[in-house]
Structure 1
Amino acid sequence: MPQPSNDPLHGKTLEFILNELVDNVGWEHMGYLVPIRCFNNDPSIKSSLKFLRRTPWARKKVEEMYVERMHLFKIMTTPNSIHNINDSIMTVRELEPKVLWNHFADLNAVPRPSKKEERVIQFMLDFGNKLGLETTKDAIGNVVIKKPASSGMEDRKTVILQSHLDMVHQKNSDTDFDFDTQGIEMVVNGDWLEAVGTTLGADNGIGVATIMSVLSSDDIKHPAIEAMFTIDEETGMTGAKELDPSNFSGSILLNLDTEDDDELSIGCAGGIDTNTSYNCDLQDIESDSEVLELTIRGLIGGHSGMDIDKDRGNANKFMNRILYHLISTVPYQLISIDGGSLRNAIPRESTVFAAVKKDDLKRFDHEFKRIAATIQDEYNSLEKELVISLQSASSDATKAIANSDLLKIVNTIYSVHNGVYRMSPDIPGLVETSSSLARVVVENGKFTTQSLQRSSVESGKGDVANAVRGAFESMGCAVVQTGDYPGWQPNPDSEILEMMASLYREKFNEEPQIKACHAGLECGILSKHLPGVDMISFGPNIRAPHSPDEKCQISSVQKFWGYFLDALDRTPVQN
């Protein structure tokens, strides 16, 4: 009786192998891993079969790529793996590179909301101390772990590896999850790692796990490492602002917080928070009224910097548009608004409670459906999951916002700028200045908002911040602007940029995208503390950060990891 073959390619045709790779890796990353024309230019199974059958060296590389990922394919296609959280966590730990994904799974088991980083700080201190490495915490809570150069790398420049410990905590309204006590529940879905109804924490957990992998390794070639784990990046960049620069001597800083694996970031926007408040007059809810709940949910949301130019719906602006329309068509009384959640996320949901006279309910329902249908028609091709609903609600409320203040609120929200304010005239495709209306709340007679203005030009940041301030002050709001942080000025003559760009071209046979980004990377602040340090930012593909749709591409992490290790190996020699 013939024995089963141990050859992983036994019985598998080239066409079968290609189809498996396309389904699990995708043409884009097949082209990164094996840079041949038939994968990168109008790829198809037919053209790839034709080329590979007559090109033995390329076929061998494709077969090797398939064999390396067979175990991953097996894990990904395990029945019910997406539905069983414990099985899913085990699946994450089996992904390649295992050292990185295991550190990420360990990190994601630790609750780490911004401004509540005590547990993850202790986690990192314990991690460094158990490795016997020099491990310290500065006054604000940043963790620093230092590791000497590996053998043969002692003459290289010292490299600072930097990522932030905190993560954005956002969940869908129907997700039962406590960020303060629970670890993130992760699932593998094809070539992507996702969370169950919450943010994933790949921003910036993948960066943290990458640094942990170097610190814990005994076989990775690297220069002397100064690992910088900062806190509170997502809600104010407090860790970067209060950094103790005396802990660092490195001349190169690699920030691992970029979300496209073909991009090298050399600049970023600065930002400022605008918070407003206004005490409203109240009036009695009219007799014979019914309380209604108006809801917007299902918007894509996303990062209010990186995604601000994608024309995604803002739940606060959508809801205000509905309220504005209803004011002009049917009387109602506003009881409360709860829109958005986080200052740096595009708001996905908004809920309003309003009182309507029973005689006006039919007309209110008609006008509500009319304006809701208009919004959905306008955004049908983009916001496919948008739900705008109206239903009766139970409420103990006896007071509503005075009609005069309701009019002020609705007119002001309508006038406040939201979205791209100006595109860069110097860098094609770069948003220079923007504003995002992140939070709108009316509760117990108090109207409050939170918004975030960003710009790569300091004067532009001041201009848009003043525009937002002026709109709210015109209705009598108290306005407080805080958290001002600088942008990061690009240095196109950077030595580390030249090395990283050259390495990228060599490894992937294409040009990297060298960009400044419209987000608040810590490099802008760190460059003030560490003048003269050569900085660059890069990372794997992460989509929809700051939202429950956040996901991280597994094959992209593999690409990023190999590139990162080669970059360490090529660290320039000390002068």
Structure 2
Amino acid sequence: MYSNLKELTSHKVFHYFAEISKIPRGSGNEKAISDYLVRFAQERNLEVIQDQVLNVIIKKAATTGYENVPTVIIQGHMDMVCEKNQDTIHDFEKDPLQLRIVGDMLYATDTTLGADNGIAVAYALALLDADDLPHPSLEVVITTEEETTMNGAIAVDAKHFKGRILINIDSEEDGKLLVSSAGGVHVTQVLPIKWDNSTDNEVAYRIRIKGLKGGHSGISINKERGNSNKLLGRVLHDLSSEFHYSIQQINGGVKPNAIPREAEAIVFIQTDDVEPINEKIEKYNDIFKNELQFSDPDVSIFFEKRDISSTNVFSSETMHKAITSLLLIPHGVQGMSMAILGLVESSTNLGVVTTTDSTITFESEIRSSLKSVKSSMVTQVRTIAEMLECEVLIDSDYPEWPFDPNSKAKKLFEETYKEKYSKEMEVIAVHAGIECGVFIEKIPGLDAVSIGPDIFLVHTPDEHISISSTINNWEYFIYTLKKMKDFL
């Protein structure tokens, strides 16, 4: 077991993971990490391509004896979800991640770790840097903006690739082979704000929900974790049925593909209603703790006085539409697969609510392994928006990755796993967006699988990765590359 970072980074994979952890690489802010990858390749005289959206493709010739083995594409993404606890001081535009070891786990300090998908970058760099690992010709492609739009993968030019076997390293469970994933789409409902003014006898308070676990909106959606935006909608609706109050802003969540952990509303209430509203919110503390005792036992709701000079508040019409949107926009599992036991087929996540000077936006991430169901769910959200006279914006529509029972790559990884560990590898599908679907659409005949080490609580500040699993998964990965000469 590694007891400190100096020991840990003596391993090539963790050396490179620590190196890229020094470079800010949130989605949309990938220039520095992209340039780092280009320099890495140039310093080793490897062929490198950096395209207009900052994707990087690095090619390395086959080692001796592997010249006739089919070329392999190694794929991951360079961007990460940047999330921190609200009270944490960290600038994701410039600050390095602060890595720390707890037992067998590697964490960042009060921020996301970026193992999703920095571990793919670290594996790729360790492989490209090695001169003692046998492998076929390699085409390593590291994409941008996977966590937000998949625009990087969508923009990749297929002419750069000869390989027809793709190994994606964006899975999060060691010993499991991912062979299928859901498609998804980002849908935003835009509600125009009509403004009014609060009355003289009203005071400003913040209603704030905290303490939820959140998580990846695909991987964790079946864990029935609380959605702070939906919980806040319930509270605001209940209060509006008993009290006269106004809303100045509603904000919640950070990313559409992360189950929101925190949400808040700034409200203006009459002085005489402060105490009864406080009592009502205390009751909701008990209600939410009871409802979420197994999934989110630390959920809390706060009612705090605020000193706000602006008296602008939503008109009664806007307030009604905003609360109705929070209640009606769907969230959670919408259907389970009848083909694969335990697999979520379709879901939606109301991930982000944002108030600006002119609009309130409600951002949802919709997923399904069936294109027709995905389309139907978009229609549902569109219908709600039209009913409330809102605009709907649709983007980041990416394809599903269909299961191929005749996949040679699947067979290869199953056979090498059994040979190395003397047991069967578990083959799985996942309810999340994986770039394999985009590449399969682009490259005719492409055969894909996805692997990765054990990563926990991705897209949250508690994200962590198993050190031993990372090393084990790395050794299995390079073992399979070595064995390709025998199996392909």
Q: Same fold (TM over 0.5)?
A: yes
Alignment partners' CA distance in 2, 1:391 and 1:213: 50
1:336-360 superposed Cα distances (whole Å, 9 cap, x missing partner): 1110011111101111111111111
1:16-47 superposed Cα distances (whole Å, 9 cap, x missing partner): xxxxxxxxxxxxxxxxxxxxxxxxxxxxxxxx
Unaligned regions of 5+ residues in structure 2, if any? none
* TM-superposed deviation, 1:530: 1.1
Alignment partners' CA distance in 1, 2:49 and 2:294: 51
CA 1:574/1:360 → structure 2, altered by over 3 Å: closer, same or farther?
closer
Aligned to 1:533: 446
* TM-superposed deviation, 1:372: 2.5
The structure, 1 or 2, with the larger RCO (C-alpha pairs under 8 Å, 6+ apart) is: 2
Aligned to 2:329: 416
Alignment partners' CA distance in 2, 1:454 and 1:91: 41
Total equivalences in the alignment? 488
Indicate if the aligned counterparts of 2:115 and 2:464 stay in contact, CA closer than 8 A. Answer: yes
Do structure 1's residue 344 and structure 2's residue 257 form an aligned pair?
yes
* TM-superposed deviation, 1:409: 1.7
Matching of residues 549-564 of structure 1 within 5 Å = 549-564=462-477
Alignment partners' CA distance in 2, 1:418 and 1:509: 42
Aligned to 1:247: 160
Aligned to 2:270: 357
Q: Tell me the secondary structure at the aligned position of residue 27 of structure 2.
A: coil
Indicate if the aligned counterparts of 2:284 and 2:301 stay in contact, CA closer than 8 A. Answer: no
* TM-superposed deviation, 1:176: 0.4
Q: Tell me the secondary structure at the aligned position of residue 105 of structure 1.
A: helix
Quick one: which amino acid aligns to residue 305 of structure 1?
Answer: G
Do structure 1's residue 111 and structure 2's residue 16 form an aligned pair?
no
Corresponding residue to 2:106 among 165, 169, 193 = 193
Corresponding residue to 2:320 among 407, 410, 426 = 407
Q: Tell me the secondary structure at the aligned position of residue 16 of structure 2.
A: helix
Alignment partners' CA distance in 2, 1:207 and 1:121: 14
Indicate if the aligned counterparts of 2:58 and 2:139 stay in contact, CA closer than 8 A. Answer: yes
- Percent identity of the aligned residues? 34
1:444-486 superposed Cα distances (whole Å, 9 cap, x missing partner): 3522111110111100100111111211221111111111111
Do structure 1's residue 132 and structure 2's residue 45 form an aligned pair?
yes
Q: Tell me the secondary structure at the aligned position of residue 404 of structure 2.
A: coil
* TM-superposed deviation, 1:104: 0.5
Aligned to 2:299: 386
Quick one: which amino acid aligns to residue 117 of structure 1?
Answer: E
What is the TM-score when the length of structure 1 is the normalising length? Answer: 0.83
Alignment partners' CA distance in 1, 2:8 and 2:188: 40
Q: Which has the higher helix share?
A: 1
Quick one: which amino acid aligns to residue 121 of structure 1?
Answer: S
- Over the aligned positions, Cα root-mean-square deviation in angstroms equals 1.4
Do structure 1's residue 514 and structure 2's residue 430 form an aligned pair?
no
Quick one: which amino acid aligns to residue 380 of structure 2?
Answer: A
Indicate if the aligned counterparts of 1:231 and 1:237 stay in contact, CA closer than 8 A. Answer: yes
Alignment partners' CA distance in 1, 2:43 and 2:298: 47
Quick one: which amino acid aligns to residue 399 of structure 2?
Answer: P
* TM-superposed deviation, 1:572: 4.6
Indicate if the aligned counterparts of 1:92 and 1:105 stay in contact, CA closer than 8 A. Answer: no
Indicate if the aligned counterparts of 1:401 and 1:445 stay in contact, CA closer than 8 A. Answer: no
1:290-332 superposed Cα distances (whole Å, 9 cap, x missing partner): 1111111121011011111110110100111111111112221
Q: Tell me the secondary structure at the aligned position of residue 178 of structure 2.
A: strand
Alignment partners' CA distance in 2, 1:496 and 1:446: 48
Alignment partners' CA distance in 2, 1:91 and 1:400: 56
Indicate if the aligned counterparts of 1:233 and 1:239 stay in contact, CA closer than 8 A. Answer: yes
* TM-superposed deviation, 1:211: 0.8
Aligned to 1:174: 87
The more displaced of 373-382 and 249-258 is 373-382
What is the TM-score when the length of structure 2 is the normalising length? Answer: 0.97
Corresponding residue to 2:415 among 496, 502, 506 = 502
Alignment partners' CA distance in 2, 1:472 and 1:544: 32
Q: Tell me the secondary structure at the aligned position of residue 461 of structure 1.
A: helix
Do structure 1's residue 491 and structure 2's residue 404 form an aligned pair?
yes
Alignment partners' CA distance in 2, 1:517 and 1:380: 26
Alignment partners' CA distance in 1, 2:417 and 2:121: 22
Quick one: which amino acid aligns to residue 25 of structure 2?
Answer: R
Aligned to 1:155: 68
Alignment partners' CA distance in 2, 1:414 and 1:424: 26
Indicate if the aligned counterparts of 2:191 and 2:360 stay in contact, CA closer than 8 A. Answer: yes
Indicate if the aligned counterparts of 2:66 and 2:485 stay in contact, CA closer than 8 A. Answer: no
Q: Tell me the secondary structure at the aligned position of residue 258 of structure 2.
A: coil
Q: Tell me the secondary structure at the aligned position of residue 103 of structure 1.
A: helix
Q: Tell me the secondary structure at the aligned position of residue 116 of structure 1.
A: coil
The more displaced of 508-517 and 524-533 is 508-517
* TM-superposed deviation, 1:443: 3.6
Matching of residues 38-437 of structure 1 within 5 Å = 69=1, 72=2, 75=3, 89-90=5-6, 92-94=8-10, 98-437=11-350
Corresponding residue to 1:566 among 473, 479, 487 = 479
Alignment partners' CA distance in 2, 1:300 and 1:92: 28
Indicate if the aligned counterparts of 1:335 and 1:443 stay in contact, CA closer than 8 A. Answer: no
Alignment partners' CA distance in 2, 1:574 and 1:102: 31
Q: Which has the higher strand share?
A: 2
Quick one: which amino acid aligns to residue 202 of structure 1?
Answer: A
